[in-house]
Amino acid sequence: MSMSNHIVLEPIRPCVRAVVLRAGCVLVQVKEKPGKGTYLTLPGGKQEAGETLTQALKRECFEEVGADVVPRQLLAVADVFKPKETGLRHQMEILFLCTVDETYQPAVGPHPDPSQIATRWADPVTEADLFRPAYAPHLRADLKTEYLGTFDG
C-alpha cells in the first residue's frame, strides 16, 4: 500500500492478537459493519499505557471472547493500515500463538467490540477470504516468527 496519497494518523497504535488453534481452525471474532459485510478477526486489541504485551493480550481476549488465553510464542509482527474518516490508522500488530483450556467454548466476552456479533472457530483455508486483515495464509501451527509485511485493515 502506498502511503503517498493518504493521510496517516498519529500515533502508531500497538495492538496484540491471539492465534488460538484447535483441530486446524482458529478462534475468531465475527464482525459486521455497514458497507463491509461480515468478516473475521483475531481476538485482541490496543495495548494500554503501562501494560505489557501479554497483559494486553490477556485483557483483550477475556473482554472480547471470554477466554483466559496463555501466550506461548511470538508469531509475527505486521503493519496494518485501517481506513478511518480522517485518514489511515497505522497499527503495529503483534501476533502470539496462545492456548486456552480444552473445555473452552467460543463465546462473546463481557466487553465485545461494538461490531462483534459472535465468536467461533474458523477454517483459515476454506474461509481465508473472510479474514481482516488477510492473515489466514499465516495462521498455521508451524509458523515461524516473521515480519508479515503490510496489510489493509
User: For the chain, how many structural domains are there in total?
Assistant: 1
The confidence score (pLDDT) of residue 51 equals 95
Structure pTM? 0.88
Residue 1 maps to a domain:
no
- Domain ranges, residue 19: 8-152
**Inside any domain, residue 50:** yes
* Average pLDDT along the chain: 91
Q: List residues bridging with 64 in a β-sheet.
A: none
Cα distance between residue 122 and residue 21, in whole Å: 9
What is the pLDDT, as a whole number, of residue 116? Answer: 98
Q: Which of 12, 5, 65 is nearest to 41 (CA)?
A: 65
Q: What is the pLDDT of residue 152?
A: 78
pLDDT of residue 126: 96
CATH of the domain at 36: 3.90.79.10
Residue labelled with grid coordinates 488453534: 21
Answer yes or no: is pLDDT of 3 > 60: no
Structural domain contains residue 2: no
The pLDDT of residue 146 is 74
